[in-house]
Structure 1
Amino acid sequence: MLVLGFPAGPLQANCYLLAAGEGADCVIIDPGQEAAAALDEQVRDNGLNPVAVLLTHGHFDHVFSAGDVCRTYDVPAWIHPDDRYMLTDPAASMGPQGAELFAALPPLTAPAEIRDLADGEALELAGLSLSVTHSPGHTGGSVLFGVGTDEGGRLLLAGDTLFAGAIGRTDLPGGDHPTMLRTLRTRVLPLEDDTVVLPGHGPTTTIGRERASNPFLQDLVPASDEAGR
């Protein structure tokens, strides 16, 4: 499997490309601000053919280039329906400062074709099978994408649900801290320790490392453990 990633834009949101290998179809995850040029370079350098854009959630730093990228490669964008409104009204997700912020930015172009993600579904794209897990808390429509590797490992594209040493903020519209803690307890902590986490910001980590050292996870009991008590 080919896994490429780079931070883009002022907020350094991670954008990823996943493919079975060089010269193959690929999916693009979270093309945010200023991501288009670097994406085009990665696609050309590796002979890739994008077939879909997948969005972990609707915040502008993760979706800002989605419309342009989808048009460039003539592909659909996939997002959870609870965050779909952000593709056409990004300011609504940013609270009172949203209108002022977006007045200073170029207008966001929504993808021409938008498809809904559903909790528990498996997307068969680019020769990969990607699981979709609804993970509300950071936003109402946040999702996790899981995919197996050729070596038998597992990748988790976590968006802004989980970072190395931190979790996503919950103080913006659509965010909710108790819901985030429930997501972490029931959707994240039950995963295997060797699951590699590709977060929406910052460096790669693993579930085991975060279980042992992330202060936001220390007092949470995994749902699987709770069920066994």
Structure 2
Amino acid sequence: MASEGSLIHDLPAVIVRRIAVSDMSNNVYLLTSKKTGAQVLIDAADDAPAISAMRAEAETDTPCDPQLRAVLTTHRHWDHIRALAEIARPQDGEPVETWAGAADAEAIEEAEGVRIDRRLHHGETFRCDGIELEVISLRGHTEGSVAFALDVEDGPTHLFTGDSLFPGGVGKTWSDEDFNRLIDDVESRLFARFADDTLVHPGHGDPTTLGAERAELPQWRERGW
């Protein structure tokens, strides 16, 4: 279950919480707008009661009434979507929108019986009452894998990268072509754009920064994983 330790960043406009669920230790992230109470969940991976407990803790993050407005999914793999159907149910009569990369959306719908309301493409912006995230396509782990970039006033950017970027390397791929696409996207769309202090929040495990990983890019490319 979630605990008070789920709060990981108290930013000027947004509170970021995280819990790890399931035996695969999937990270689930909750963003709450301090100004409006709007909440956005990234990857409803598993254990809906634990996710709900984290949301209950977040009631202290804002003087407003917290309301889950959207669930964003980084990619279609089963271990990242098992609680999607339950978490995406209407909250207090209000709909919860579901968003995912366009190329993965149909597979998610078929696996979980949940309609994906918005199919995301590279360069789009997700906006929801005080929360704004840039959509960054990172093809290779799956065709529709996406990361979400949270820009922070007077602070480093936060990247929610799913299974596309971890401390020590990119995500798993199943062919040389997929690996090359993924590392090309990670290099050009993340490392070439964002500063060293940019925080990386992966789909499993501990966070890192782009600066901590940047020097290893040539080694990742050479080893092929």
What's the TM-score once normalised by structure 2's chain length?
0.80
Which of 195, 202, 212 is 1:209 aligned to?
A: 212
Q: Distance in 2 between matches of 1:69 and 1:25?
A: 15
Q: For residue 71 of structure 1, give the secondary structure of its aligned residue in structure 2.
A: coil
Task: Describe how 1:132-211 pairs up with structure 2 within 5 A.
Answer: 132-171=135-174, 176-190=178-192, 191-211=194-214
Query: What is the CA distance between 1:110 and its match in structure 2?
Result: 2.7
| Counterpart AA for 2:38 | D
**Does the alignment pair 1:58 with 2:76?**
yes
Identity of matched residues, %: 31
Query: What is the CA distance between 1:150 and its match in structure 2?
Result: 4.1
Which of 24, 27, 38 is 2:50 aligned to?
A: 38
| Counterpart AA for 1:7 | A
Query: What is the CA distance between 1:171 and its match in structure 2?
Result: 1.7
**Which stretches in structure 2 are left out of the alignment for 5+ residues?**
1-13, 60-65
Output one character per residue of 1:10-61: Cα deviation in whole Å (capped at 9) or x when no partner. 2111110012238811100001122x11111121122231100001111111
Which of 86, 90, 95 is 1:68 aligned to?
A: 86
- Give yes or no for contact 2:32–2:58 (8 Å, CA) kept in 1: no
- Give yes or no for contact 2:170–2:183 (8 Å, CA) kept in 1: no
Q: 1:23 to 1:217 in 2, by over 3 A?
A: same
Q: Count how many residue pairs are aligned between Structure 1 and Structure 2.
A: 199
Output one character per residue of 1:187-219: Cα deviation in whole Å (capped at 9) or x when no partner. 122121111001111101000001134675476
What's the TM-score once normalised by structure 1's chain length?
0.79
Output one character per residue of 1:144-189: Cα deviation in whole Å (capped at 9) or x when no partner. 10011244321000111100112210028xx811211211221122
Query: Partner of 1:102 in structure 2?
Result: none
Give 4+ residue runs of structure 1 displaced > 3 Å after superposition: 213-220
- Give yes or no for contact 1:71–1:111 (8 Å, CA) kept in 2: no
Pairwise CA RMSD: 2.3
- Give yes or no for contact 1:68–1:111 (8 Å, CA) kept in 2: no
